[in-house]
């Protein structure tokens, strides 16, 4: 099987920063039809090549960048790429995805994946120009912000190159650090800290290799259907108009908009920070990632001091707005600017702010411990001062930038309302008001995450009553498998608000020629990949006890709104979910299910 | 009542004697937002009637108000919506009117006899598949009773299966719709209103399984005017008896024209292209609205994919997106047919292509002096990767030579540029190039 005729490059670039060795290997041909690429490929490499117990910030931790078979073509959002590593924040398998313009460049340079291991003695950058790959000193760039580094690289290399950089929090291995391609981020879980631990400041890439699909005619036909499905969808139309923020109002109406560190599910100033308000007052132009027909990104009108951001999107608005009781759009933009400029994850930073504000509200933390800053709910100036501390990694920012779980270790009385799972701060859907989503937060392979199968359709798709647990494990299982398939094909999830798995399947089959007789085979692939990452976490000691939620969700009834009085009935959902997945009572995949998924034979040496 | 049923079926499906009906669904007003397509219902109804629509689906209240428009022998058939549901009020597309939804509700608001009194030729009711067993059982019961009521009154009953709810996934939606179609037929529907399954083969299968006339619905409106026509043409190819298209028509800037186009496809055998353009453009040129460009580069990859062996990439594209100055200030750079390259070429190697009117390279005349590359104001003439060997007889007209590279110029894809076709925002589009003759210039 010639994978080069099946939309792959059939090359993995491997860079060892300790030795300086740069090599390439081919793809595992017999594995590819089972994992497809993207998430599946990253999970495969991490599971089979990384030694159990590897410290996330040690040189041995693999930092794997990957694209997918559709990357670089005209498939909707075909510029997407991802990163897979072991997270310093969660200790779990961790994957993050990003739009922007870097992913297709790696593919055009001729690589399906880039595996970085080792650690350099002094700051370096990796320069990939098709087959010419080299490491260069980056002392000059070390310490610079994301924008400054990006602009310097653009000046030095030119517009036909794309860069990935980290900011100071990444360099100093903070858990809130992300990796940025211009305004877009591989975010959450401290993936930027892993890059920083390797003293890798930047990766620039340029390429001009073509991508060849298996059946061009069939692929073009599938593209036509996919694009039409995206265009003929009111949900994608709304994404174009108001970005992801279009859902803020409905989430608020459903009582699921986390407010004041999840003490409430509705925000009294929701109208001020919804998509329509940003559209009317703050946004001036749409931004699209590579090959994206939707364009959910928005450029803001400059603030008084000239600060401009691309955003904010829904999660950022929630985290830096309602979660801190901040109802000023300008303040949200300003806080978001700090995160983007210095390379931090807005959800985690907002989670930290909300947590610290509640600690302060309850008198569990003093201004003195926060370098004199008194974080009162809704105080934009205090929030900005704290974010600046984290951005510059100075004073209290040094430990704040380690995330909610780490702060809760310093202030154990805050643990019941430390809103994280497995060390990852919670995203913008209140689990107590969305039970299927709660299950996803508890179980997800990377901690509290809304993008690893959370059935958000229970909130804005009307798929089911969000307040019941009936049927939710099955709904989560299906969405999780779909999402894993989508991430393995490495497309953004948003075309999926118009396309279904069927349109994705048509694209994948035409591009790769792999034998997937029906869309359900892609769903099976998704379940296989989800199970593979579960195996990684099991190997690192994760089990049922870790699939949990903060006490706030499990035992403190919601204060008001449509979900008033609700807590998450987690245990029965876990039981049913494990049963559906073929995992044992402790959440460990059974050998029988591994055989059914075709994993047992592949993992023979490991599983036995 | 059999005669009444047949007469009403004919009124809907046989106005043109071809068994096809182009219908408009304009029953959104009581379920979704009060958007312009709902408020201006009278004007829209009049427009689609002028366009020759065969049937219009209305809520009972609007049917009462707009009844005069349906009168007369040539008036369109009235279809009445029998039920209400809360699903569209959930706020996916109509946040302002959103209500939290805990469970799917569906109420019947008119009887068959009342519909006939309004002059209806058919009535429509939902059938939900895939939500959960209880909702599905209730729906089947409601539809079955209603079909009987319609049969007694002699009113054709159109069932609309909707795959919706937690059992619906991308992997099973086609199977669920197909099942819903058969279920509706078994219950006793006279016709179906159903979404397109996305491709001709699966929709043909659905229609065969249902074995009753099928009207395809349009779904959400697309800004690309080609989408609705293409969707209908494909559904018709699969065997659909017509369409019941809603927002694509009612939210269209020109509902009358869209109906004329759909009727052309349904009743006159037009192709999508014939319906779309209405006139033949002999030559085209590319134009741009740079303010609409989001910088996604789909045009660039599409350009490469349609040339040079069909691989995807950005290298050797005949257009590019210039990042411009300031954030998001993209410039779309393409061949403007300015003629500077043709004029500057010392060997007359460049000329207007006699068929497409694009710039054409006669490579045997080219000395790769590079003057065209230099002069191109938009810098979209690029060096080829590989050289070319010209094997002529050796005369000045047919030389023998080897070029290390040659200029790659935009060929307008022979008259149907891929960049304009794929652009999602209309930032690049084509216009007619009027009063142009390649030989005269």
SS3 per residue for A388-408: HHHHHCCCCHHHHCCCHHHHH
Residues B236 and B344 in one domain: no
Question: Average of pLDDT values for B302-322?
Answer: 94
- The nearest alpha carbon in chain A to B218 belongs to A232
Residues B63 and B203 in one domain: yes
pLDDT confidence tier of residue A608, bands split at 50, 70 and 90: very low
CATH code matching the domain that covers A432-607, chosen among 3.20.20.70, 1.10.10.10, 1.10.599.10, 3.30.70.260: 1.10.599.10
pLDDT higher than 70, residue B93: no
Backbone angles phi, psi at A518, to 5 degrees: -145, 160
- Domain A259-418 class? mainly alpha
Residues within 8 A of B (CB atoms), A 406-425 only: none
Residue with tokens 């399947």: A505
Strands A12-16 and A22-25 come out as: antiparallel
- The nearest alpha carbon in chain B to A109 belongs to B313
Residues B252 and B216 in one domain: yes
CB contact under 8 Å between B227 and A299, yes or no, is no
Q: What tokens does A174 get?
A: 């903070």
Interface predicted TM-score (ipTM): 0.94
CA distance B356 to chain A (A): 23
Instruction: Please say which residue of B225, B242, B277 terminates a domain.
Output: B277
Digit-coded pLDDT (tens) for B327-349: 778 999 999 999 999 999 999 99
Q: How many domains does chain B have?
A: 2
A519/B contact by beta carbon, under 8 A:
yes
Digit-coded pLDDT (tens) for A451-468: 999 999 888 766 678 999
Cis peptide before B182, with omega less than 30 degrees from 0? no
CA-to-CA distance for A156 and A311, rounded, in angstroms?
27
Instruction: Please say which residue of B249, B277, B305 terminates a domain.
Output: B277
- Helices (H), ranges, B67-132: 112-117
Residues within 8 A of B (CB atoms), A 549-608 only: 562
Q: What's the pLDDT score for residue A226?
A: 96
CA distance A38 to chain B (A): 18
Nearest CB to A234; choose among B98, B220, B305:
B220
Q: What's the pLDDT score for residue B97?
A: 52
pLDDT confidence tier of residue B391, bands split at 50, 70 and 90: confident
Residue B438 within any structural domain of the chain: no
| CATH value at residue B100 | 3.20.20.70
Question: Average of pLDDT values for A203-221?
Answer: 97
Residues within 8 A of B (CB atoms), A 12-51 only: none
Residues B256 and B183 in one domain: yes
Phi and psi based region of residue B426 (left: phi greater than 0; alpha: psi -120 to 50; beta: remaining)? left
Question: Average of pLDDT values for A84-102?
Answer: 98
Residues B188 and B112 in one domain: yes
Strands B191-195 and B214-217 come out as: parallel
- The nearest alpha carbon in chain B to A289 belongs to B296
A227/B contact by beta carbon, under 8 A:
yes
Instruction: Please say which residue of B223, B244, B277 terminates a domain.
Output: B277
Digit-coded pLDDT (tens) for A173-189: 999 999 999 999 999 99
CA distance B398 to chain A (A): 34
Residue B441 within any structural domain of the chain: no
Counting Cβ atoms within 10 Å, is residue A48 exposed (0-12), middle (13-18) or buried (19+)? middle
Question: Average of pLDDT values for B40-64?
Answer: 94
Nearest CB to B297; choose among A229, A290, A502:
A290
Nearest CB to B294; choose among A72, A101, A295:
A295
Residue B439 within any structural domain of the chain: no
Residues in A touching B31 (Cβ below 8 Å): none
Residue B187 within any structural domain of the chain: yes
Q: What's the pLDDT score for residue A601?
A: 85
CB contact under 8 Å between B222 and A227, yes or no, is no
Which DSSP string do the residues of A64-91 spell out, in sequence order?
Answer: EEE--TTTTSSSTTTT-EEEEEE-TTTS
Digit-coded pLDDT (tens) for A586-595: 999 999 999 9
CB contact under 8 Å between B170 and A213, yes or no, is no
Residues in A touching B248 (Cβ below 8 Å): 232
Q: What's the pLDDT score for residue A1?
A: 87
Residues B363 and B226 in one domain: no
Nearest CB to B92; choose among A227, A461, A523:
A461
Per-residue HEC secondary structure of A8-46 comes to CCCCEEEEECCCCCEEEECCCCCCHHHHCCHHHHHHHHH
User: Which segment of A339-343, A491-495, A600-604 scores lowest on mean pLDDT?
Assistant: A600-604
- Calculate what percentage of chain B has a pLDDT beyond 90: 70
- Indicate the DSSP class of residue A590: P
Residues B291 and B264 in one domain: no
Residues B375 and B395 in one domain: yes
Residues B270 and B152 in one domain: yes
Nearest CB to B298; choose among A101, A250, A291:
A291
What number of C-beta contacts closer than 8 Å exist between A and B? 201
| CATH value at residue B296 | 3.30.70.20
Residues B109 and B199 in one domain: yes
pLDDT confidence tier of residue B28, bands split at 50, 70 and 90: confident
CA distance B57 to chain A (A): 20
Nearest CB to B294; choose among A276, A288, A462:
A288
CA-to-CA distance for A12 and A28, rounded, in angstroms?
10
Q: What's the pLDDT score for residue A567?
A: 98
Neighbours of B325 (CB within 10 A): 7
- The nearest alpha carbon in chain B to A159 belongs to B323
Residue B440 within any structural domain of the chain: no
- The nearest alpha carbon in chain A to B307 belongs to A210
A475/B contact by beta carbon, under 8 A:
yes
CA-to-CA distance for A136 and A62, rounded, in angstroms?
20
All structural domains of chain A with their residue ranges: 3-206, 259-418, 432-607
Residues within 8 A of B (CB atoms), A 291-320 only: 291-295, 297, 299, 308, 310
Residues B220 and B364 in one domain: no
CB contact under 8 Å between A295 and B296, yes or no, is yes
pLDDT confidence tier of residue B301, bands split at 50, 70 and 90: very high
Strands A124-129 and A200-206 come out as: parallel
Report the mean per-residue pLDDT for chain A: 96
- Which is nearest to B163 in space by CA: B148, B147, B174, B150? B174
Element (H, E) at B320: strand B320-322
pLDDT higher than 70, residue B92: no
Q: What's the pLDDT score for residue A607?
A: 46
pLDDT higher than 90, residue B34: no
CA dihedral B311, B426, A274, A271 (to 10 degrees): -170
Q: What's the pLDDT score for residue B90?
A: 57
- The nearest alpha carbon in chain A to B222 belongs to A232
Backbone angles phi, psi at B71, to 5 degrees: -75, 165
A250/B contact by beta carbon, under 8 A:
yes
Q: What's the pLDDT score for residue B259?
A: 96
Residues within 8 A of B (CB atoms), A 425-464 only: 455, 457-458, 460-464
Q: What tokens does A65 get?
A: 């960048």
Q: Are A12 and A111 in contact, with CB atoms under 8 Å apart? A: yes
Residues within 8 A of B (CB atoms), A 129-168 only: 159
CATH topology classification for A3-206: Aldehyde Ferredoxin Oxidoreductase;  A, domain 1 (3.60.9)
Q: Are A375 and A382 in contact, with CB atoms under 8 Å apart? A: yes
- The nearest alpha carbon in chain B to A221 belongs to B199
CB contact under 8 Å between A465 and B174, yes or no, is no
- The nearest alpha carbon in chain A to B324 belongs to A159
pLDDT confidence tier of residue B40, bands split at 50, 70 and 90: confident
CB contact under 8 Å between A237 and B220, yes or no, is yes
CB contact under 8 Å between A232 and B219, yes or no, is yes
Domain extent for B404: 284-432
User: Which segment of A564-573, B84-93, B275-284 scores lowest on mean pLDDT?
Assistant: B84-93
CA-to-CA distance for B66 and B390, rounded, in angstroms?
72
Question: Average of pLDDT values for A125-150?
Answer: 98
Residues B317 and B186 in one domain: no
């Amino acid at each position: 099987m010639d994978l080069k005729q099946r939309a792959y490059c059939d090359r993995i670039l491997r860079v060892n920063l300790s030795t300086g060795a740069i090599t390439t290997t081919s793809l595992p041909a017999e594995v590819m039809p089972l994992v497809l690429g993207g998430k599946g490929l990253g999970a495969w490499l991490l599971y089979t090549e990384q030694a159990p117990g590897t410290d996330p910030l040690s040189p041995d931790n693999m930092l794997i960048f990957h694209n997918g078979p559709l990357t670089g073509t005209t498939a909707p959002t075909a510029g997407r790429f991802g990163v897979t590593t072991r997270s310093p924040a969660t200790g779990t398998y961790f994957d993050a995805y990003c739009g922007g313009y870097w992913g297709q460049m790696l593919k055009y340079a001729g690589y399906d994946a880039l595996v970085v291991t080792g650690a350099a003695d002094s700051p370096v950058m990796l320069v990939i120009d098709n087959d010419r790959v080299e490491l260069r000193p980056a002392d000059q760039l070390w310490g610079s912000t994301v924008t400054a580094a990006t602009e310097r690289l653009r000046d030095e290399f030119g517009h036909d190159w794309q860069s990935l950089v980290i900011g100071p929090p990444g360099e100093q291995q903070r858990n809130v650090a992300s990796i940025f391609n211009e305004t877009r981020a591989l975010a959450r879980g401290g993936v930027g800290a892993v890059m920083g631990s390797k003293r890798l400041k930047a990766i620039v890439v340029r390429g001009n290799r073509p991508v060849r699909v298996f059946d061009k005619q069939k692929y073009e036909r599938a593209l036509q259907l996919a694009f039409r499905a995206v265009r003929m969808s009111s949900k994608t139309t709304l994404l174009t108009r108001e970005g992801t923020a279009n859902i803020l109002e409905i989430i608020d109406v459903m009582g699921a908009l986390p407010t004041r560190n999840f003490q409430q599910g509705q925000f009294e100033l929701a109208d001020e920070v919804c998509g329509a308000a940003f559209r009317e007052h703050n946004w001036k132009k749409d931004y699209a990632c590579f090959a994206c027909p939707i364009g959910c990104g928005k450029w803001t009108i400059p603030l008084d001091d000239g600060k401009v951001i691309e955003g904010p999107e829904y999660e950022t608005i929630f985290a830096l707005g309602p979660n801190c009781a901040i109802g000023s759009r300008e303040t949200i933009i300003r806080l978001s600017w700090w995160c983007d400029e210095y390379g931090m994850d807005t959800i985690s930073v907002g989670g930290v702010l909300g947590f610290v504000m509640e600690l302060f509200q309850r008198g569990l933390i003093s201004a003195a411990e926060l370098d004199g800053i008194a974080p009162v709910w809704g105080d934009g100036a205090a929030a900005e001062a704290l974010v600046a501390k984290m951005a510059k990694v100075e004073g209290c920012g040094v430990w704040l930038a380690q995330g909610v779980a780490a702060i809760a270790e310093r202030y154990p009385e805050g643990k019941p309302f430390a809103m994280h799972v497995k060390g990852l701060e919670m995203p913008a859907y209140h689990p107590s008001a969305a039970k299927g989503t709660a299950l996803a937060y508890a179980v997800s392979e990377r901690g509290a995450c809304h993008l690893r199968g959370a059935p958000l359709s229970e909130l804005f798709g009307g798929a089911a009553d969000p307040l019941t647990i009936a049927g939710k494990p099955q709904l989560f299982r299906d969405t999780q498998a779909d999402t894993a398939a989508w991430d393995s094909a490495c497309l953004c999830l948003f075309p999926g608000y118009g396309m279904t798995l069927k349109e994705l399947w048509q694209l994948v089959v035409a591009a790769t020629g792999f034998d997937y007789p029906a869309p359900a085979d892609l769903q099976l692939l998704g379940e296989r990949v989800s199970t593979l990452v579960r195996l990684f976490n099991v190997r690192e000691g994760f089990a049922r006890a870790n699939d949990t939620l903060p006490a706030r969700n499990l035992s403190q009834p919601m204060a008001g709104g449509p979900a008033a009085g609700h807590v998450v009935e987690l245990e029965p959902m876990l039981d049913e979910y494990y049963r559906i997945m073929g995992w044992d009572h402790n959440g460990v995949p059974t050998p029988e299910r591994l055989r059914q998924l075709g994993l047992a034979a592949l993992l023979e040496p490991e599983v036995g | 009542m059999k005669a009444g049923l047949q007469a009403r079926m004919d009124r809907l499906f046989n106005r043109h004697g071809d068994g096809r009906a182009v219908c408009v669904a304009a029953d959104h007003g009581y379920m979704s937002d009060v958007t312009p397509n709902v408020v201006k219902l009278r004007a829209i109804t009049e427009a689609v009637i002028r366009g020759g629509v065969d049937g219009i689906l209305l809520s009972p209240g609007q049917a009462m108000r707009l009844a005069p428009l349906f009168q007369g022998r040539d008036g369109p058939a009235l279809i009445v919506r029998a039920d209400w549901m809360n699903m569209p009020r959930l706020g996916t597309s109509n946040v302002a009117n959103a209500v939290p939804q805990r469970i799917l509700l569906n109420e019947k608001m008119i009887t068959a006899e009342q519909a006939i009194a309004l002059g209806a030729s058919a009535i429509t009711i939902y059938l939900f598949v895939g939500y959960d067993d209880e909702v599905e059982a209730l729906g089947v019961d409601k539809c079955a009773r209603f079909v009987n009521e319609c049969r007694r009154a002699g009113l054709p009953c159109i069932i609309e299966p909707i795959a919706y709810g937690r059992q619906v996934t991308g992997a099973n939606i086609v199977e669920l719709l197909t099942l819903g179609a058969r279920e509706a037929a078994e219950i006793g529907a006279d016709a179906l209103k159903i979404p397109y399954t996305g491709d001709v083969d699966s929709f043909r299968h659905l229609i065969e399984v249902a074995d009753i006339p099928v009207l395809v619905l349009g779904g959400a409106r697309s800004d690309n005017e080609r989408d609705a026509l293409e969707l209908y043409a494909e559904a018709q190819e699969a065997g659909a008896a017509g369409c019941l298209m809603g927002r694509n028509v009612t939210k269209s800037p020109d509902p009358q024209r869209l109906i004329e186009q759909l009727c052309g496809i349904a009743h006159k055998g037009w192709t999508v292209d014939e319906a779309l353009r209405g006139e033949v453009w002999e030559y085209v040129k590319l134009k741009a609205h740079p303010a609409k460009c989001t910088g996604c580069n789909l045009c660039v990859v599409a350009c490469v994919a349609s040339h040079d062996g069909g691989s995807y990439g950005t290298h050797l594209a005949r257009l590019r997106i210039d990042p411009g100055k300031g954030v998001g200030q993209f410039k779309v750079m393409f061949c403007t047919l300015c003629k500077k390259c043709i004029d500057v070429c010392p060997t007359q190697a460049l000329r207007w292509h006699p068929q497409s009117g694009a710039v054409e390279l006669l490579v045997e005349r080219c000395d790769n002096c590079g003057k065209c590359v230099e002069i191109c104001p938009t810098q979209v003439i690029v060096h080829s990767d590989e050289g070319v060997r010209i094997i002529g007889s050796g005369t000045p007209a047919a030389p023998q030579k080897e070029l290390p590279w040659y200029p790659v110029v935009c060929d307008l894809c022979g008259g149907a540029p891929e960049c304009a076709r794929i652009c999602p925002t209309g930032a690049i589009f084509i216009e007619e190039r009027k009063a142009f003759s390649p030989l005269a210039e």
